[in-house]
Amino acid sequence: MCSSEPWASLQAQFPHVDAAAWPVFVDWAARMREWNCKINLISRKDIEHLEARHLAHCLAITNHLKLMQGARVLDVGTGGGFPGLLMAITYPQAQFTLIDSIGKKIAVVQDLIAQLGLRNVEARQCRAEALHKQFDFVTGRAVKNLPEFFSWIKDNLRRGQRNSLPNGVLYWKGGALREELAALGIEPRRRIELAVELQDPYFEEKAILHFDARDVPRARALPRAKGG
C-alpha cells in the first residue's frame, strides 16, 4: 500500500522518515478520514487533500530537524494532532505532549494514539501554563498570532543544542508576517519556505519559523486571551 500514490511520492519527498513510519501514516490517514466524518477536524473540502496539504505540510520539518534520544516536544493547540502527532510517528526516539483546550479534539487524538499503538506521545486537555514543564521544542500550527502564542509558551522552553537545530519554537505560519514579527520583537533564526520546500504553489506564503530558545525571553508577548 505504501508503494502506491500518493505514498511513493511522499516517501521520495521525505527521505529522512524511517520506512517503518509509512504504514503508520497510511493507517492514520484512514482513521482521520473516519473521524472527520464525525468531528470537523479538517474542512470537508480539504480532507481529500489530507496527505498533500496536511501530512506533507507537517513532515516538511523532517528535512531540517533531527531529534536525539529523549528529546521532549510540546505541541500547543494541537487540534487534530497537527503537527505533534505526525512528528511523534516520525520521531519515536523523542517524547511528545500534545495539548488543546477543546476536549472533543483531544479525545480524537487520544483515540488515534491508542489505535496506532504510539507509546511516545500523550494528549491532554489543558493550557501550556498548567504543565509547569520545560521542553526542547514547542510547536504550533497556525494557532494564534505570534505574540499571543509566545505569551502561552514562554515558560515552557529550555535552552540547549543537542539536536540538529537549537532548542526553540517551531511555528507553522501563513500569510504576511512583517507586522506580527515587529510586534513580537524577535526574528526567527530560520525560515523554511514551504512553497519551495514542497514544490507546490498551494503553500505560497506559508513557512515554518524556527525561533531560538535563547531569543524567546526578549519576545514581547501579549497577555493570554481566553481559549487556546
| Domain boundaries, given as residue ranges, for the chain | 7-218
Q: What pLDDT is recorded for position 60?
A: 98
Helix (H) or strand (E) holding 131: none
pLDDT band at residue 6 under the 50/70/90 scheme: confident
* CB neighbourhood size of 38 (10 A): 9
Asked whether the beta carbons of 144 and 77 are under 8 A apart, the reply is: yes
pLDDT digits (tens, 9 = 90+) for 91-139: 999 999 999 999 999 999 999 999 999 999 999 999 998 999 999 999 9
What is the pLDDT, as a whole number, of residue 226?
A: 46
| pLDDT at residue 223 in the model | 62
Amino acid in the structure at residue 200 = D
Q: Are 192 and 171 in contact (CB under 8 A)?
A: no
Segments in the chain forming alpha helices (H):
7-13, 21-36, 56-59, 84-90, 103-116, 146-153, 178-184, 194-197
**Terminal Cα-to-Cα distance of the chain (whole angstroms):** 37
Joined together, the cell numbers standing for residue 96 give 511528545
Residues in Cβ contact with 227 at an 8 Å cutoff, skipping those fewer than 6 apart: 101
Per-residue pLDDT band for 45 (boundaries 50, 70, 90) equals confident
Q: Quick one: which of 164, 194, 170 has its CA closest to 55?
A: 194
Neighbours of 1 (CB within 10 A): 9
* φ, ψ of residue 75 in degrees (nearest 5): -105, 115
Poorest-pLDDT segment among 40-54, 70-84, 186-200: 40-54
Say whether pLDDT at 3 is over 70: no
pLDDT reading at 207 higher than 90: yes
- Beta bridge partners, 206, equal 174
pTM (2 d.p.): 0.94
pLDDT band at 69 (very low <50, low <70, confident <90, very high): very high
For residues 224 and 226, give the distance between their C-alpha atoms in angstroms, rounded to a whole number. 7
46-57 burial code (b ≥16 CB/10 A, e <16):
ebeebbbbbbbb
Per-residue model confidence (pLDDT) at position 43: 87
Cβ–Cβ < 8 Å for 208, 23: no
Which CATH number does 7-218 carry? 3.40.50.150
Number of Cβ within a 10 Å radius of residue 70: 10
